[in-house]
């Protein structure tokens, strides 16, 4: 197994892109099906720094990508890549969102666990986990080719 999968930079890029591409695509489909009230890409400023909402979420997804990149060799050895990516997304980012972030924002645990919202949040989490694995593998392959080419001269 290549050690480039442990790269925090590749992990950050994987998480960042997973949010923009995989979750963004899912959000667009759900919006087109009238299941979301707005498109997933929002550029309204967030507090306290005024960063556009979508970029703020992508940044946090990138931080989760770093955590996944560091844990991925261990997770994949035990569960496989795809199952491991999904389990990571459901155990860490989703649980943190439900039990820490939402209560801190005043929405209560799980935002109240509304029956219509839970399947959508689970779908977004699955999209993030799958995108994380996809982009981490792509980034690792790209880093491996560049490193291999440099070593060959």
Q: What is the 3-state secondary structure (H, E, C) of the chain?
A: CCHHHHCHHHHHHHHHHHHHHHHHHHHHHHHHCCCCCCCCCCCCECCCCCCEHHHHHHHHHHHHHHHHHHHHHHHHHHHCHHHHHHHHHHHCHHHHHHHHHHHHCCCCHHHHCCCCCHHHHHHHHHHHHHHHHHHHHHHHHHHHHHHHHHHHC
pLDDT higher than 80, residue 54: yes
69-121 tens-digit pLDDT: 999 999 999 999 999 999 999 999 999 999 999 999 899 999 899 998 999 99
Q: What percent of the chain has pLDDT over 90?
A: 73
| Mean pLDDT within 19-29 | 96
Q: Count Cα neighbours of 151 within 13 Å in the Cβ-side half-sphere.
A: 6
Mean pLDDT, to the nearest integer, of 52-68? 95
Mean pLDDT, to the nearest integer, of 35-56? 89
pTM (2 d.p.): 0.86
pLDDT band at 41 (very low <50, low <70, confident <90, very high): confident
């Amino acid at each position: 197994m290549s050690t480039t999968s442990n790269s925090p930079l590749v992990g950050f890029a994987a998480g960042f892109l997973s949010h923009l591409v995989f979750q963004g695509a899912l959000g667009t489909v759900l919006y087109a099906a009238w299941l979301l009230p707005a498109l997933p890409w929002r550029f309204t400023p967030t507090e306290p720094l005024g960063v556009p909402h979508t970029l703020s979420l992508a940044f946090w997804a990138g931080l989760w990508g770093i955590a996944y990149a560091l844990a991925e060799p261990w997770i994949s050895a035990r569960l496989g890549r795809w199952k491991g990516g999904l389990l990571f997304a459901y155990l860490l980012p989703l649980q943190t969102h439900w039990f820490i972030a939402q209560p801190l924002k005043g929405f209560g645990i799980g935002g109240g666990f509304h029956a219509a919202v839970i399947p959508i949040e689970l779908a977004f989490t699955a999209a993030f986990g799958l995108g994380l694995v996809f982009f981490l593998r792509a980034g690792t392959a790209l880093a491996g080719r560049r490193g291999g080419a440099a070593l060959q001269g």
